[in-house]
Structure 1
Amino acid sequence: LSAPGVKRTIALAHRRDVTPTHAARAWRHVLHAYLTEAAAWSRLPAGVETI
């Protein structure tokens, strides 16, 4: 993992002129649902936040 104070941002990028594939949309949905639930139950690791 990373040392205290080090920040990382994870993003799912795509070109605006290309529609994401079904698999990419499904992955984004699954990841968002997981992070939302984990945050609601305070299960994210210390210092981790969704933005």
Structure 2
Amino acid sequence: MTLLGWFLQYFIIFVILVAIAVLGVFCGKKLRENKDRKEAADAMIHSDSQDVK
């Protein structure tokens, strides 16, 4: 019974760590997409202002 308890405890910890890792991946992807979108918008603004000169 003790062995089963240890296994269950480590399995729960494993599931929690996997969930944290998955959340980290999704948050990182979302932050990177936002950064890329912002840089693209800034590049468009700067390229438009250089065309005016």
TM-score range, shorter chain: 0.3 to 0.5
Tell me which of the two structures has the higher relative contact order, counting C-alpha pairs closer than 8 angstroms and 6 or more residues apart: 1
- Report the TM-score, using the length of structure 2 for normalisation: 0.41
Larger relative helix fraction: 2
Give the structure with higher Rg (CA).
2
